[in-house]
Amino acid sequence: MLDAAKGRGTWPRTDYSGVHAGPMNRNEITEHFVVARLAKGLSRQELADAIGRPVVWTTSALLGQHPIPAELGKVLVEMLGLDESAVPVLAAPPMRGGLPTAVPTDPTIYRFYEALQVYGGAIKELIHERFGDGIMSAINFSVDLRKESHPSGDRVVVTFDGKFLPYQWVSANE
């Protein structure tokens, strides 16, 4: 049962979760997804394939960063053996981009923060030089991650693919 005013659904306790019973918010549902995925031995790629979405998008959505359309949410809930009352909560627009601290403390996330501290200014300047005055969209956007073999050790290759959005002065009176 969904309590729309609070964005919470009723989710009965499941044997493998150890998480409390009763209404659950998006963060609690995310915890259930993590536990259920591990309990069932499913990879993130298997979940992505089941709903026909890229693995990075699917993983981000399951971590609460994207709304999951109801028809896709139903597939995931069924695969993981979770209660259907989670589907409308998963479909609701989430609070995106929040980190628990101003500077991330998780080592992997911190490396991205560090890389942008070191190379962010250069990337910005090169975008302006090659595209003009504007920004890369994080809305009309995709990201890909792949593993590349290298003699000195495997490489993590991350590609950000965002639409260029030029700054434009538009008067409200025009």
Q: Which residues are catalytic?
A: 111, 114, 137
Compute, in degrees rounded to 10, the torsion defined by CA atoms 36, 61, 142, 49.
Answer: 40
CB 110 within 8 A of CB 92: no
Residue 100 tokens, joined: 């628990």
Tell me which residue of 70, 27, 25, 76 sits closest to 49, measured CA to CA.
76
Burial of residue 52 (number of CB atoms within 10 Å: 0-12, 13-18, 19+): exposed
CB 66 within 8 A of CB 29: no
Q: How many CB atoms lie within 10 A of CB 154?
A: 9
CB 89 within 8 A of CB 2: yes
